[in-house]
Structure 1
Amino acid sequence: MAPAKLLLVDDDETIRLTLGIILRKHGFNVTVAATVTEALKHISSEAFDVLLSDLHMPGAGDGLTVVSAMRHANPKAVTILLSSFPHMDAAAQAILLQTDEILVKPMDVTMLVEAIKQRLAAGPTRARLVESVAAILERSSDSTINDWYELVEKEETLMAIPMTFQQRSGHLPQVIRDLVLRLRSSKSLGSKELFSAAATEHGTVRRKQGYSAAMMVEESRILQVSVFNTLQKNLANIDFSVVLIGVMTIADEVDSQLSQAMKSYLAESIVDALPA
């Protein structure tokens, strides 16, 4: 039987050297990586049976990024994180949704090897559906809109203008479709905005409905909160290897749409100010 292939990820050179030697002596075929980027390259080009990664890594990404990438590329692999913090609160629950086990450093080497073998024998805790940020937003469109509406209802300034649910939220399905399209495109952050007819129309409509500029901004802020709430509720499925760029893209696109809406809002204001 071929030795189990194990990817060891740790920025500490001493740990990589010593633990790598020990694991090889216990029959593992060990590949080491010093950074998240290096680990991702190995994951994309090789198949592994076990991932053993430090949770806290310097630079872009961390152990969760590596775990998420491994889940996506090789869902049958066992994933184990090493952490220096023995007491983790709410974050631990989110982490456990992504990885099979968390072990606390420093740990007796014999116990570590035994823990790896036991987890390898048991296999991954359960199959997980790993999704992109775009896929999560696409399937959660209705719940995101409902969450947005509940938050809007708590804002007295926005509710001062009476509207039906459709009048208040009718623009959001297209906004979310635009967000999904942007997330799936290769458009870089901060580049020239994609034209959105829906955003332009929204600005004109809100002006006619009596919204102030401050109300437009507040409505947009609540949208970002609702979108991020949706991602928070889907931590068990989210692909952590791309979540940061996804969140930044969402913020960029929502601001872009607000900018376009405000342009049409101001244009409508000028028209309103003209003599009849």
Structure 2
Amino acid sequence: MAATKVLLVDDDVVVRFTLEKVLEQHDFDVTTATNVPEALKHISSNSFDVLLSDLHMPGAGDGLTVVSAMRHANPKAVTMLLSAFPEMDAAAHAILKQTDQILVKPMEVMEVVKAIKQRLVSGSSAIRVVETVASILERLAKITIQAWFNRIVTDKKLMAVSMTYEQRTSHLPQVFRDLVSRLNSTKSIGSKELISEAASEHGINRRRQGYTAAMMVEESRILQACVFDTLQNNLATIDFFASCSPA
């Protein structure tokens, strides 16, 4: 029977070396990576049965990026994350929807081996539905716009300028379409092709309607907060690998 293939990802040389040696002593075939880019290269060129990755690592990406990549390349692989922060509350629940198990550091090495063997017996959790940031924002544009409006009506300074619902929100559907287009584009942000005409026109209209510069900034800040909330509420379904990779 072929040895179980494990991809071990950790920037801590002591943790990585210790886990590698102990796992090999228990007949695991171990490949190591010190960072996310190195891990992604291994995933793209090899097949693994288990991913054991630190959640927090320096540089671009983190353990969730690696998990998402493994889900793409090998959906049946068991994915496990190591974290030094046990009290993550809501974040932990969201992370558990992405990966099979979180192991809290510091942890006895033999407990890690035991956890891997137990998870291999039960198998990976059901394959999860994942989406890019662009597809989430496109799907939930109307809900996000309504959430934005609900916050706007509580702001006395913004509401001092009388407008209908249509006047306040008519620019937003196109703004979201432009945002989705930018997220899906292979061109760098800032390119002339990616400038939102809707956003520019909106600024001109708001000045005509009586907004000051400070009011436009505040309205934009509220929109950014609502977009963030939408993504935060859908953290468990975000495809971190695709969202961080060029198209």
* TM-score normalised by structure 1 residue count: 0.81
CA displacement 1:75-134 (0-9 Å, x = unmatched): 221111112334333332222222111112232333221210111221222321121111
Which residue of structure 2 lines up, in the alignment, with residue 238 of structure 1? 238
More deviation in 138-147 or 75-84?
75-84
Name the CA distance, whole Å, in 2 between partners of 1:155 and 1:193.
34
Which residue of structure 2 lines up, in the alignment, with residue 217 of structure 1? 217
Contact kept in structure 1, 2:5 and 2:49, CA below 8 Å: yes
Which residue of structure 1 lines up, in the alignment, with residue 188 of structure 2? 188
User: What is the DSSP-based 3-state SS (H/G/I as helix, E as strand, rest coil) of the residue aligned with 2:42?
Assistant: helix
Which residue of structure 2 lines up, in the alignment, with residue 264 of structure 1? none
User: What is the DSSP-based 3-state SS (H/G/I as helix, E as strand, rest coil) of the residue aligned with 2:32?
Assistant: strand
Contact kept in structure 2, 1:63 and 1:81, CA below 8 Å: yes
Q: Assess, with a 3 A threshold, how the Cα gap between structure 1 residues 108 and 181 changes in structure 2: closer, same or farther.
A: same
Name the CA distance, whole Å, in 2 between partners of 1:99 and 1:126.
10
In the alignment, is residue 121 of structure 1 matched against residue 121 of structure 2? yes
- Amino acid of the residue matched to residue 33 of structure 1? A
Which residue of structure 2 lines up, in the alignment, with residue 268 of structure 1? none
* Structure whose CA Rg is larger: 1
Which residue of structure 1 lines up, in the alignment, with residue 176 of structure 2? 176
Name the CA distance, whole Å, in 1 between partners of 2:173 and 2:27.
54
Q: Assess, with a 3 A threshold, how the Cα gap between structure 1 residues 193 and 216 changes in structure 2: closer, same or farther.
A: farther
Which residue of structure 2 lines up, in the alignment, with residue 91 of structure 1? 91
Aligned length: 246
Q: How far is the alpha carbon of 1:53 from its aligned partner?
A: 0.8
- Amino acid of the residue matched to residue 75 of structure 1? P
In the alignment, is residue 18 of structure 1 matched against residue 18 of structure 2? yes
- Amino acid of the residue matched to residue 13 of structure 1? V
**In the TM superposition, what are the counterparts of 1:1-276 in structure 2 within 5 Å?**
1-192=1-192, 194-241=194-241
CA displacement 1:29-61 (0-9 Å, x = unmatched): 211101111011111222221100112212222
- Amino acid of the residue matched to residue 117 of structure 1? K
Q: How far is the alpha carbon of 1:203 from its aligned partner?
A: 2.7
User: What is the DSSP-based 3-state SS (H/G/I as helix, E as strand, rest coil) of the residue aligned with 1:98?
Assistant: coil
Contact kept in structure 2, 1:81 and 1:102, CA below 8 Å: yes
Name the CA distance, whole Å, in 2 between partners of 1:223 and 1:96.
29
Q: CA RMSD in A?
A: 2.1
Contact kept in structure 2, 1:97 and 1:235, CA below 8 Å: no
Contact kept in structure 1, 2:182 and 2:189, CA below 8 Å: no
Name the CA distance, whole Å, in 2 between partners of 1:149 and 1:201.
19
- The alignment-based identity, stated in percent, is 66
Q: How far is the alpha carbon of 1:170 from its aligned partner?
A: 0.8
Name the CA distance, whole Å, in 1 between partners of 2:109 and 2:173.
53
Q: Assess, with a 3 A threshold, how the Cα gap between structure 1 residues 157 and 235 changes in structure 2: closer, same or farther.
A: same
**Structure 2 gap ranges (5+):** none
Name the CA distance, whole Å, in 2 between partners of 1:195 and 1:61.
27
**Structure 1 gap ranges (5+):** 247-276
Contact kept in structure 2, 1:9 and 1:33, CA below 8 Å: yes
User: What is the DSSP-based 3-state SS (H/G/I as helix, E as strand, rest coil) of the residue aligned with 2:53?
Assistant: strand
Which residue of structure 2 lines up, in the alignment, with residue 251 of structure 1? none
- Amino acid of the residue matched to residue 88 of structure 1? M
CA displacement 1:214-263 (0-9 Å, x = unmatched): 222211111111111110010110123465799xxxxxxxxxxxxxxxxx
Q: How far is the alpha carbon of 1:192 from its aligned partner?
A: 4.8
Q: Assess, with a 3 A threshold, how the Cα gap between structure 1 residues 58 and 200 changes in structure 2: closer, same or farther.
A: closer
